[in-house]
Amino acid sequence: MKAVVFEKTCKRFHKSEYFFSRSDYLWALNDVSFSVDRGEAVGITGPNGSGKTTLMRLIAGITRPTSGSVAVNGRVVPLIRVEGALNFNLSARENISLLAAVFGIKKKAVRKIFGDIVDFAGIRDMLDMQILKLSHGMISRLSFSIAVHIDSDILLIDEVLAVGDSSFQEQCFKKLSELKKQGKTIFFVSNDIESIKKACGRVIVMESGRIVSDGA
């Protein structure tokens, strides 16, 4: 069973900030084809601007391909710069309920995972503070913790692990291998080859919107 199939997928963006103007396009993805089996852990790497995040955003359904197709089987939880999805005026508690609601999780189900999220992030003392008063590291811990505790079939992780301290990173890798054992499909985007090799059995290397190598 395939979890994700890309077929001749292209994605372009307007270079202009005006939608209705004749402008050049930036081809963020150019004729990308690959497929990923359920339960696979895939690392994606490549220089800045090579299309890694666009690839993730297509899998997450945030954006649609300009041409070609993207097929996804299962529920995707994207952790794409997700700390940016938090609302800095709200407390950690409020952010957990808001993000869970955005992911379509019912309140009853949120109550079940709330304690786990809080403990994993280690923010029990700061639950009711506006998160703009928390440190950058604490905020990424919170966002990572929310995403991994939401029930998903496919998990997308984008550069998030670069920020936490080493004990939190250790905790994250432990959680990731646990999720892998549960049979979840994981995409892991990073520039850090070492951490990719640690977490993934397959590595896709991208360059200017194309896949240049795909293998173990």
Partner 1 sequence: MPNPFSLLVSVRNWHELIFAFALVNLKQRYKQRYLRAAWAVINPLLTMAVFTVVFSKVAAIQSEGVPYPLFAFCAIVPWIFFSSSVGFAVSCLNSNFNLITRINFPKITVPLGSILATFFDFLISSALLAAMFALYGYPIGINALYAISVFMVHMMLTVGVCLMVSVLNVYFRDIQSAMPVILQVWMLASPVGYPVGMVGKGLLPYYFLNPMAGILDGYRKALLHNHAPDPLSFNIAAVISIAVFLLGYRVFKMSEKNIADIITP
The one among 4, 29, 32, 82 contacting partner 1 by CB under 8 A? 82
Closest approach of Cβ 105 to partner 1, in Å?
Answer: 9
Burial of 52 (0-12, 13-18, 19+ CB in 10 A): buried
Residue from 5, 10, 85, 203 touching partner 1 (CB under 8 A): that is 85
If you ran DSSP here, which 8-state letter would residue 122 be given? T
Residue whose structure tokens are 């985007």: 189
Window 115-154: residues binding partner 1 (CB under 8 A): none
CA pair distance 173, 194, nearest whole angstrom: 12
How far is Cα 61 from Cα 54, in angstroms, rounded to an integer?
10
104 makes contact with partner 1 (CB under 8 A): yes
Give the binding range for partner 1 (CB under 8 A) out of 75-83, 116-124, 171-179, 184-192.
75-83
Site for partner 1 in 18-57 (CB under 8 A): 19-20, 57
With contacts defined by CB under 8 A, name the span among 29-37, 40-48, 81-89, 202-210 that binds partner 1: 81-89
Q: What is each CA distance from 6 to 34, 46, 55, 183, 196, in whole angstroms? A: 5, 18, 9, 21, 21
| Least Cβ distance, residue 63 to partner 1 (angstroms) | 5
Cα–Cα distance for residue pair 89/133, rounded to 1 Å: 9
Return the range that interacts with partner 1 (CB under 8 A); candidates 2-10, 36-44, 94-102, 116-124: 94-102
Q: Is 63 in the site for partner 1 (CB under 8 A)?
A: yes
Residue 210 CA to residue 135 CA, distance in Å, equals 36
Q: Using the rule CB under 8 A, is 76 a contact of partner 1?
A: yes
* Among 97, 169, 177, 208, contact with partner 1 (rule: CB under 8 A): 97
